[in-house]
Structure 1
Amino acid sequence: MTTALDRIHLPAAARTVRRLRLRPDGAFAPLGPRAVRLTAPVGALDLPDLAPGAREAVAALAAGEHTEEELAALVAARDGDTGLLRWQLARRRLGTAGMLEHSVHLALDGPDGATGTEEPLARLRPVGRGAAEPGPTPDPTGQVKLSRFATAAVEDGALLVRSPGSPLAVQLTTRAAGLLAALAGWTSPAALAQLPGALPLDAVRQTLRLFAAAGLLAYGAPGAEPEAEEQRFAQWTAADLAFHSRTRRPTSVAGYGGTYRFGDRFAPEPASPAPFAGEKVALPVPDLDELTRTDRPFTEVLEQRRSVRDHDEQAPITLEQLGGLLYRSARRRQTFTGGDGQELADRPYPSGGAVHELELYPLVTSCAGLEPGLWHYATDRHELELVSAPSPATAQLVKSARESCLMQTDPQVVLLVTARFGRVMWKYETVAYPLVLKHVGALYQTLYLVGTAMDLAVCGLGGGDAADFAAASGLDYFTEGTVGELVIGSRPPTLRQDVGVPRREARR
């Protein structure tokens, strides 16, 4: 049923057409008179024994969009009715392998029945590894709504709607994009077709069929919504679940791991960033041989490790102590060139692929032997470079760290951890940012253990503002930004017990 507004905007003979084609990022290659190979980012599929008509049908799918009826007629004309069953088996293999795209079009035929134009509405696109087959057409009166985990984004000039963990996405045109807003609350296909300017009922149902295949719909009723009421769903935000699913479910993406997707567009970044123009301060180098003999045993250090939020204001951390912490935790031991041509590094903490994209910026408020300001630790030269003198921007970073750490006074040093994103993203796809966060965790623990061995106060923070760091440093937010923060200082003789984990002081 259509409304009066529908009749204004659509010809009376508007009908829905379903088409399919080989995914555009796939390729068709003949292997012989009866064999073809289809390739895509998700892999390859060989069809070794196709009848002539079936082979033409596969070639037709590689060349453009066709209806199931058009393909069946092509096969029957060459292979006869007996060839249709074999074609259906081959066609099913294409869908199961994720090689096909399904689309819904609105055919605008003329009043006299003459064939007119087709307006595309929606397309079911494989974006990962998995079957790309729509399910049954939804009931006209069934209650549905858009999943609260669905996300829409522009990719390659198209609006794609995705659900976390699904290898499929739905591409919408302007004509069908209004369904997203209409599906914000519980509704039905029949109700959607009654909205002003809406699509005909069959077009709505066929589009929602693609939505269902991509996992974009929630089912239930008002007051009975599993996504909102069951803890296993309710505890997730859309952003968190999308991040988790995308990075921990490789089948939901086409590229995963070291794919070098930017290898042919950009050169790899060097292991060291460009030096800052400010004052340079050489740091003392600790005697590792002496430390090997005198350091406390590892188990003792591990057991004594804790977050210390108090600093000794009477005896602030010294330049030698800060330098020793940085040297033992993050200095560069060596560089070498990987097989991919990227300059790699070796530091005391682990880094995936040895890319070591993390940089450290001590923001100093009180350090004996070092002027206050924002400094950069040059890991290759073991020296500090002045990035910025104290300013309102650096003061905001100190204030945020103090409040986050529940400190009563300003921390002596806020150790800002940044990532030079291009070092990782040049090689890794999908897992690049999660890999950065894993590296931050490894660095945190290294700083904690070394700081404990040196009897320093160390406390890692759970969050920070990368925009504030960009303002203080002048660095581009998208090129290098903060991904972690710690407060560092001298350890006072007596610690407060009103913050952190209450426990007795470890034995010395």
Structure 2
Amino acid sequence: MIRTGDIRYALRPGVTCLTVPGGAVLLNPPHNEKLTGLTPAQSQALKTLNQGPAAATCELAAESDSVTTLLDRLAGAGWLEVTVRDGDRDLYTLRPFATPPARPSTGDGPRTVLSKFTVIHRDPDGLVLEHPTSWCDLRVHDPRLLALAAGADPTELGLPEALSARIAADLRWGGFTADPAAENRDFTTRSWSAPDLWFHRRSTLGSRTVTWDNFGPTAWAKDEFPQRPARRAPYPGVPIALPAPDLATLRATDPALTAVLEDRRSCRSFDDARPITVAQLAELLYRSARTRSMESTPDGGELPSRPYPSGGSVHELELYPVVRTVDGLAPGMYHYDSFEHALRPVAPADAPAVQRLVRTTAATLANAAEPQLLLLISARAGRVMWSYESVAYANILKHVGVLMQTLYLTATAMNLGAVAQGFSDTAAFTAATGVDELEECNVGSMILGTRAGDR
């Protein structure tokens, strides 16, 4: 790092500076920039920058205009992180991951506060302010900055006026502050919630993530933690064996794929006088979600095969039928053991948490009816998170989507009614199963049964 006045500069993480005859090359794959025509002072400054934190005590001559020009150029292109200081105390660092925009004008404007999209959290490097659409992160070193960002009076924090103005300008430059009236007036910014936008940008490639470092199937946990087993530990109840359908007959008698796709509809009215049978539930589960086979990898990994796709073949999803009225099956909550094609009791029908789960369907079904069968989808998140970085939960939700479509199409082929819910009670699921939500969490639900009017 090098320091001049109250600003300290460093190459942003991932950047390397290679000195070559007549200049230097800045590398941050897939980006690079060649610097030519450098003065001796500029070349020395680049060498100092390349030494990293050990060079923090090195000073540049304040009168070296050529070095100041070079630093401004590199910072303006996003090659440098900039730390603003108050005397000998670091206040914050602007760490770019894209080319910065032009600084906004400093004239008077509408009152600005932290944007509703700004997220403050802790990571391995400390506290950080993030905005999903920003070009940089703001690393917080002094807690006074948080108070100032929240609207505290600078004079009460002991910060010089000029420094407070610099902080306000940098917060606005990074997009961390906004006019609250404008954010609520514009449909685009009002319609997005902070967690939705942050999740979207954090789980996709873009300006923040341009390489596969710490993104995607990195198997980051391989040398530290054992992979979670493919098969969930069974619940202690006596399993209920389910009949398996004759797939050869179904291949010959099932309606055509086009007919199933065209006939699929969400069903919100069911016929309780003629409920779904346990044989139909067994067929639905077998055709949609059974574990067909298991492949073992050379390093001891387990890759199941099921009728629906799963990224990396991890198959982290589990199914929990919550039965109110299924002919041939007692009411209650069950777990589907996809390896044995069996149901294992989880909780009785009169358990408060199970009753809460059933009540959540009132907003989905016609006339606030209760379901014949509620099928909860959970995720043993560690199966995915052991391998994937940044995109793990996004992949889980994609898997939920393909499983829901598989259930929809199978139910349609069987002339059953089905409707997916856009929500479920995750707290009630945790209470009913007794599992740690970070180990296994509810991520989807569907309602199934005999459609009304299909006599």
Taking structure 1 as the reference length, what is the TM-score of the superposition?
0.78
Which segment drifts farther, 366-375 or 318-327? Answer: 366-375
1:239 aligns with 2:224: no
Cα distance between partner residues in 1 of 2:46 and 2:118: 38
1:53: which partner in 2? 44
1:419 aligns with 2:379: yes
Which segment drifts farther, 145-154 or 482-491? Answer: 145-154
Q: How far is 1:279 from its partner?
A: 1.5
Q: How far is 1:377 from its partner?
A: 0.9
1:295 aligns with 2:275: no
Cα distance between partner residues in 2 of 1:407 and 1:312: 13
Root-mean-square deviation (Å)? 3.3
1:346 to 305, 311, 314: 305
1:274 aligns with 2:243: no
Structure 1 segment 3-402 matched on structure 2, within 5 A = 17-23=6-12, 25-26=13-14, 53-65=44-56, 70-71=59-60, 84=66, 92-93=73-74, 96=77, 98-107=78-87, 118-126=88-96, 129-131=97-99, 136=103, 139=106, 141-145=108-112, 146-156=114-124, 158-172=126-140, 173-182=142-151, 193=154, 195-218=155-178, 225-253=181-209, 255-338=214-297, 342-390=301-349, 391-402=351-362
Q: How far is 1:30 from its partner?
A: 7.0
Cα distance between partner residues in 2 of 1:343 and 1:33: 53
Letter in 2 for 1:420: R
Deviations 1:33-74 (A, max 9, x none): 99988777x76868798866245322344434479xx33569
Q: How far is 1:89 from its partner?
A: 5.2
Structure 1 196/297 Cα, relative in aligned 2: closer, same or farther at 3 Å?
same
Cα distance between partner residues in 1 of 2:71 and 2:82: 16
Deviations 1:414-464 (A, max 9, x none): 100001111111122222111111111111111111101111121111101
Percent sequence identity over matched residues? 38
1:457 aligns with 2:414: no
Q: How far is 1:171 from its partner?
A: 1.9
Contact 1:162-1:214 within 8 A present in 2 as well:
no
2:408: which partner in 1? 448
Cα distance between partner residues in 1 of 2:362 and 2:402: 23
Q: How far is 1:413 from its partner?
A: 1.2
Q: How far is 1:351 from its partner?
A: 1.4
Which segment drifts farther, 260-269 or 43-52? Answer: 43-52
Deviations 1:71-116 (A, max 9, x none): 3569x7xxxx8xx47x9558845763x5532111111xxxxxxxxx
Contact 1:26-1:38 within 8 A present in 2 as well:
no
SS of match in other structure, 1:469: helix
SS of match in other structure, 1:486: strand
SS of match in other structure, 2:44: helix
Q: How far is 1:215 from its partner?
A: 1.7
Structure 1 140/16 Cα, relative in aligned 2: closer, same or farther at 3 Å?
farther
SS of match in other structure, 1:395: helix
Deviations 1:220-247 (A, max 9, x none): xx8xx43221222222222222222222
Cα distance between partner residues in 2 of 1:449 and 1:137: 53
SS of match in other structure, 2:267: coil
Cα distance between partner residues in 2 of 1:438 and 1:196: 49
Please list every run of 5 or more consecutive structure 1 residues that lacks an aligned counterpart in the other structure.
1-14, 108-117, 184-191, 496-508
Cα distance between partner residues in 1 of 2:156 and 2:439: 46
Cα distance between partner residues in 1 of 2:127 and 2:390: 20
Cα distance between partner residues in 1 of 2:25 and 2:330: 66
Cα distance between partner residues in 1 of 2:427 and 2:24: 52
Structure 1 484/209 Cα, relative in aligned 2: closer, same or farther at 3 Å?
same
SS of match in other structure, 2:325: coil
The aligned length equals 442
Please list every run of 5 or more consecutive structure 2 residues that lacks an aligned counterpart in the other structure.
none
Which segment drifts farther, 334-343 or 425-434? Answer: 334-343
